[in-house]
Amino acid sequence: MRSLLFVPADSEKKRTKALDTQADGIILDLEDSVAASAKADARADTAAFLSSGDRNGKAIVVRVNPLDGDYCEADVTAIIPARPDYLMLPKATPEGVQDLSDVMAAHETKAGMDVGAIGVLTVSTETPAALFAMDGYVHAPDRLAGLSWGAEDLAAELGATSNRRADGTYTDIFRLARSLTLAAARAAGVLAIDGVYTDFRNEDGLRAELADAVRDGFDAKLAIHPAQVPVINEALTPSADEIAHAKAIVDAFDAAPDAGVLSLDGKMLDRPHLLQARRVLMRTSQP
């Protein structure tokens, strides 16, 4: 997956529009996008939509409410039998992912599903304490499929007046949260998903942030508006030249499986270059 588009779970109009975008996945949001008084109806509508089978080839994620709140248990109970592809856990911790996985397993079994059939994605940096627990994701259950991060809730928890400098770049504490998410995802062997770019009318700013994400190694990015999706997909899809170069590296090492270092086009390459090339080719296989 390259692009994951947030959609309020209680908006049929926006859900229908999201299905017609180029997003690889849509996130039906039962948390921040839905008022407390509307959560029960949104939950029921989401389950009905999932059961209808009309997914247009997209991965469907449901962001449930926080595990320690009043709504998560009801979310999981209603949504698991409708078989989304993933649940997204906000305000996540490694321990929270394990607890959610245990609850999901019971509901999967009750619904006649294989345990682990539904994956888990996270928003992993929404509290200060979460930043000190990122290494724990390496021990997360197998259903963990990706880690993302969020700046807005973290800013509120920290008392920050803004999470960005005047030039639009993140301040240091938020850069740290982003970097920890990328490192934790790589350590756990799951997707690294960059956070949202909230100024959805600023395409140049989004492109600049995507350039950073690609440079650093993120696999995907969250979107909050349909207009962001094609920009994200373009940035996270390797060019023909990048694909050809990556394939040449993989082919060179395949032809010399015992080589630790080899030369290609006048440059010395070693195993880290091979790993990077394989990641480029993996990105070409994303939907």
Q: For residue 50, what are the contacts with CB-CB under 8 A and spacing of at least 6?
A: 60, 62, 79, 82, 83, 84
User: At residue 8, what are phi and psi to the nearest 5 degrees?
Assistant: -60, 130
Domains recognised in the chain with CATH numbers: 3-236 (3.20.20.60), 240-284 (no CATH)
**Residue ranges of the chain with pLDDT lower than 70?**
284-287
Report the distance separating Cα 269 and Cα 261, nearest Å: 6
The pLDDT of residue 147 is 98
Residue 287's pLDDT is what?
A: 46
Q: Is 63 annotated as a binding residue?
A: yes
Secondary structure class of 19 (helix, strand, coil): helix
Residue 199 near residue 227 (C-beta atoms within 8 A): no
78 CB contacts (<8 Å, ≥6 apart)?
A: 43, 44, 46, 47
Q: State residue 46's pLDDT score.
A: 96
Q: What is the 3-state secondary structure (H, E, C) of 168-226?
A: CCECHHHHHHHHHHHHHHHHHCCEEEECCCCCCCCHHHHHHHHHHHHHHCCCEEEECCC
What are the beta bridge partners of residue 146? 121, 191
> Could you tell me the two tokens for 112?
């006649």
Q: What is the pLDDT of residue 19?
A: 95
Residue with tokens 């209680």: 10
Asked whether residue 12 is marked as a ligand-binding residue, the answer is no
pLDDT at residue number 285: 54
How far, in Å, CA of 129 to CA of 93, rounded? 9
31 is in an annotated binding site: no
Q: Is 57 exposed, middle or buried (0-12, 13-18, 19+ CB in 10 A)?
A: exposed
Q: What is the pLDDT of residue 262?
A: 85
C-alpha 15/C-alpha 127 separation (Å) is 29
Confidence at residue 250, expressed as pLDDT on a 0 to 100 scale: 87
